[in-house]
Amino acid sequence: MPRLIVVIGPTGVGKTAHAIEIALKHACPIISADSRQIYRDLPIGTAAPTPFERQLVPHYLVAFKELHNFLITEASDTKFCMAGFQLKNTLSDNGTVTRSVCEEEDGLLTNIVETHNIEKLDGRAAVRTETDITYYDDETPVSMNMWGFMPSFLDEVEARFVNFLSTTLVENPLKGEYFLPTPVSQLIEEGKATVKVLTSADRWYGVTYAADKPVVMAALKDMQQQGLYPDGLWG
């Protein structure tokens, strides 16, 4: 019986490199899977494998032309990129979601805020509290954690994790999370990096609620019929 080897772990711990090592050892392909995986014409990606790594091992659900082009033509230790989706294209019809809401100027990211409880309200994206409702522009860019970094970024993540850990163990030891946008925002504020926002009008598909599943399944089937994904996507 064929074996499925699953590599899991938090962002920035070397899953890509480890997966390639395993794939070379067992002569098997790699399928990238993530809670924020399914995109239309924008399949996947955090810490995308390099072209050389893709030659070593067949990869599926990793190609995104614009991000790839940035990484091979513009990226440096101080120049990053991210895919910016329109907020309206990332919402669920079945409940609230959390999104990293972005602010940009001249195509560069200036701020990113992890925003909770965003929902569709009267056909618009909004956050409700007990006393107020905040509406967002439909085309507000949001990050779905598809970034383009150089390897040196991981050194920054590791260096800043020490301070995060010492604070979080005191303030929120059970539920504290080291969000990927945190070190990105710090580097931007310190003037040590820029992040180019690669805008996308594509629809994002994800299963936040059980009721989202049929919608995603229908979308995948439609994309297979259009030839955007192969018929044997899942083997």
Q: Where are the domains of the chain?
A: 15-206+213-222
pLDDT at residue number 43: 39
Query: Residue 142: which residues within 8 A CB-CB, separation 6 or more?
Result: 84, 85, 86, 87, 90, 99, 100, 101, 102
Look up the CATH architecture of domain 15-206+213-222: Alpha-Beta Complex (3.90)
**Single-letter amino acid, residue 156:** E
pLDDT at residue number 99: 92
42, 202 contact by CB (below 8 A): yes
120, 135 contact by CB (below 8 A): no
Exposed/middle/buried for residue 144 (C-beta within 10 Å: 0-12, 13-18, 19+): buried
One digit per residue, the tens of pLDDT, for the chain of length 235 reads 567 788 877 665 677 677 777 777 777 666 655 544 433 343 344 455 555 555 555 444 433 677 878 888 999 999 999 988 899 989 999 999 999 999 999 999 999 998 999 999 988 999 999 999 999 999 999 998 889 999 899 999 999 999 999 998 888 888 888 888 889 999 999 999 999 998 887 788 888 899 999 998 888 888 788 776 777 766 5
Q: What are the CA-CA distances from residue 158 to residues 35, 48, 68, 72, 175 (Å)? A: 23, 19, 25, 24, 19
pLDDT at residue number 160: 93
pLDDT at residue number 53: 55
